[in-house]
Amino acid sequence: MKIISKKIVKLLRKKALKISFAESCTGGLLSSSITSISGSSKVFTLGLITYSNQAKVKLLKVSPNILKKHGAVSYETCLSMVKNLSKISKTNVSISVTGIAGPNGGTRNKPVGLVYIGLKKGTKILVKKFIFKSKKRLSIQRSTVNEAFKLILKTI
């Protein structure tokens, strides 16, 4: 993770871009991975850990109706998270993450390992769905961070 984090920070600095994160299932691992790199203060603006639905509503202005209808782990919630993060942070690149890291909490329709990652850069918005096969919490969190980093690199 360290090598890809360095690459992202270097690229963001080179292109004079700022980045922000809204995390749920990764609990700050995404922000921590970037801020562990020297020079990240030049590119990293904001990291929100909106773990609860209440935090998603209060801080990210996710509509309670979206949460009620689709749940916290959904395309719609992830999309709302990334759009509103972009408005709040005023960064060039915004990332949102929501998912079920396990080992408990999964259902047939939303299994452990289900994760949505949202990315907004300028007017471009992308939300990708992942189902990680591991049932280990840290493994799912790390896989989520790696996939988020891949999306960032493809987009910037």
pLDDT one-digit tens code per residue, 98-129: 999 999 999 999 999 999 999 999 999 999 99
List CB contacts of 41: < 8 A, sequence separation 6 or more.
35
Q: Residue 70 is which amino acid?
A: H
> Mean pLDDT over all residues of the chain?
97
Query: What domains are there in the chain, each with its CATH number?
Result: 2-155 (3.90.950.20)
Q: How far apart are CA 86 and CA 82, in angstroms?
A: 6
What is the rounded average pLDDT of the residues 1-24?
95
What is the rounded average pLDDT of the residues 32-60?
97
What is the rounded average pLDDT of the residues 84-111?
96
61 pLDDT above the threshold of 80: yes
Question: Residue with structure tokens 């049932």?
Answer: 135
Residues composing the chain: 156
pTM score, two decimals?
Answer: 0.97
